[in-house]
């Protein structure tokens, strides 16, 4: 189902204090965006923002940046953010160029229900492909953590293989994590829909 545009999308993007207009300028100095220097976690492909907004509320001792490239989706996320939330910023950007945004600053990356790009010729677009994992090496600090959730089993198995092959230690692996595991995390808008339909959700935590 296609997402309908908000009539005032452009105005929302222009006026939001949470949307960073020139994110490349803060590469290597993302601390300047926040009121306090704290660990930095990012979500790539944040959608309408439910997950990262919840996380920022639950963990005021962590700074968060959500990354999304589609204007109509960004606008719907921005209007949800409470004005008092000081540990969250949003980037309008394509993650294929993520090394243009961060330089050894990020502690954790969240990949929630990423596009699985199922065709073999689309492999390089997958957010857990080897080329993206190499990009993340430049983005991460010494500590590297990726938390992944997906409803697509084929993409999940592919990700387990690529993460392991890139030197990550895998934990909390589940093909139905709401049934198998107790994890203190927020729920994205996609996850809510899948849970209502009783669709099993795969999960893995990866550390390097």
Asked if the structure places residue 94 within a domain, the reply is yes
Q: Which H or E run contains 10?
A: helix 9-15
Number of domains in the chain: 1
- Confirm whether 115 is a catalytic residue: yes
CATH number at 16 reads 3.40.50.150
| pLDDT of 152 strictly over 70 | yes
* For the chain, percent of residues with pLDDT exceeding 70: 97
Provide the 10 A C-beta neighbour count for residue 121: 7
49 lies in a domain? Answer: yes
Residue 1 has pLDDT above 70, yes or no: no
Does residue 148 lie in a domain region?
yes
The pLDDT value recorded for residue 3 is 47
Using the predicted structure, report yes or no on whether residue 167 has a pLDDT greater than 90.
Answer: yes
DSSP state of 92: E
76 with 68: CB under 8 angstroms? no
How far apart CA 100 and CA 184 sit, in angstroms, is 31
pLDDT at residue 115, rounded to an integer: 94
Whether 2 is covered by a domain: the verdict is no
- 25 part of a folded domain: yes
Containing domain of residue 94, as a range?
Answer: 9-207
Of 41, 98, 24, 26, which is closest to residue 68 (Cα–Cα)? 98
Q: For 12-44, what is each residue's pLDDT tens digit?
A: 999 999 999 999 999 999 999 999 999 999 999
What is the three-class DSSP state of 62? coil
For residue 190, what pLDDT band results from cuts at 50, 70 and 90?
confident
Which pTM does this prediction carry? 0.93
Residue 177 lies inside a defined structural domain of this protein: yes
Are the beta carbons of 159 and 128 closer than 8 angstroms? yes
Tokens standing for 67?
A: 């990354």
Contact 77, 54 (CB under 8 A): no
Is the per-residue pLDDT at 2 higher than 50? no
105 neighbors 28 (Cβ within 8 angstroms): yes
Alpha helices in 112-152 (DSSP H): 130-139
Question: Other C-beta atoms within 10 Å of 208: how many?
Answer: 16
Query: Which of 25, 31, 71, 115 is flagged as catalytic?
Result: 115
Longest CA pairwise span in the chain (Å): 46
Dihedrals φ, ψ of 117, to 5°?
40, 70
Q: Identify whether 167 is part of a domain.
A: yes
Inside any domain, residue 122 = yes
């Amino acid at each position: 189902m296609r997402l309908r545009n908000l009539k005032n999308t452009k105005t929302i993007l222009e006026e939001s204090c949470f949307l960073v207009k020139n994110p490349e300028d803060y590469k290597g100095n993302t601390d300047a965006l926040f009121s306090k220097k704290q660990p930095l976690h990012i979500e790539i492909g944040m959608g309408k923002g439910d997950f990262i907004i919840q996380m920022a509320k639950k963990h005021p001792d962590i700074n968060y940046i959500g990354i999304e490239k589609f204007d109509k989706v960004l606008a719907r996320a921005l209007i949800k953010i409470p004005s008092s939330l000081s540990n969250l910023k949003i980037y309008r950007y394509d993650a294929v160029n993520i090394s243009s945004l961060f330089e050894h600053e990020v502690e954790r990356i969240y990949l929630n229900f990423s596009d699985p790009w199922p065709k073999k010729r689309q492999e390089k677009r997958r957010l857990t492909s080897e080329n993206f994992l190499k990009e993340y090496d430049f983005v991460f600090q010494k500590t590297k953590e990726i938390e992944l959730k997906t409803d697509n089993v084929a993409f999940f198995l592919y990700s387990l293989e690529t993460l392991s092959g890139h030197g990550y230690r895998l934990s909390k692996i589940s093909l139905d994590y709401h049934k198998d595991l107790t994890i203190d995390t927020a729920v994205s808008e996609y996850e809510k829909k899948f849970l209502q339909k009783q669709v099993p959700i795969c999960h893995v935590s990866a550390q390097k």
